[in-house]
A = this chain, B = another copy of it.
Amino acid sequence: MKDTKCKIVKCDSTIIHEDIINAVKESMPEEERLYDLAEIFKVFGDTTRIKILYALFASEMCVCDIAVLLNMTQSAISHQLRVLKQARLVKFRKEGKVVYYSLDDDHIKQIFDQGLNHINERR
């Protein structure tokens, strides 16, 4: 009950299950999309940014508020907001010298919820 037509040759530079490899290769999305996908998750892959996004789920906030909330430097928060801005995850509006940030994407919450599902269901 195991694969029959295995062309076992050699691991380095040659191929083992040629048929599987070819089939899988067909099913793979484009290189570029996989790259973009990794880029997004990279943005989510930092505790500070996750916290900022969760804060913004609840309310728009100015930079200083976020810094106080997370007990971090204004500069550190500002740098991270730039990353989130570049990823088009947050937007901002200015009111005098104060800059208010808010979410710019509807999917984030859903993605996070499923991430938490994963965490929960592995006990």
A interface residue numbers (CB < 8 A to B): 2, 11-12, 14-17, 20-21, 23-25, 27-29, 33-47, 49-51, 54-55, 57-59, 61-62, 64-65, 67-69, 74, 88, 95, 98, 105, 107-108, 110-112, 114-119, 121-122
Question: CB-nearest residue of chain B relative to A17?
Answer: B65
Q: Which of B41, B45, B49 contacts A115 (CB under 8 A)?
A: B41
In the bound complex, residues from chain B placing their C-beta under 8 Å from that of A112 are 37
Please state if A51 and B24 are interface contacts (CB–CB under 8 Å): no
A32 to chain B, nearest CB (A): 10
- Give chain B residues whose Cβ lies under 8 Å from the Cβ of A12: 74
Residues in B neighbouring A98, C-beta threshold 8 A: 16
A16 in contact with B107 (CB, 8 Å): no
Q: In the complex, A67 Cα to B52 Cα: how many Å? A: 37
- Write out the residue numbers on chain B whose beta carbons fall within 8 Å of the beta carbon of A57: 27
- B residues in contact with A38, CB < 8 Å: 44-47, 49-50
**Bound-complex Cα distance A11 to B69 (A):** 11
Asked if residues A34 and B50 are in contact (CB atoms below 8 Å), the reply is yes
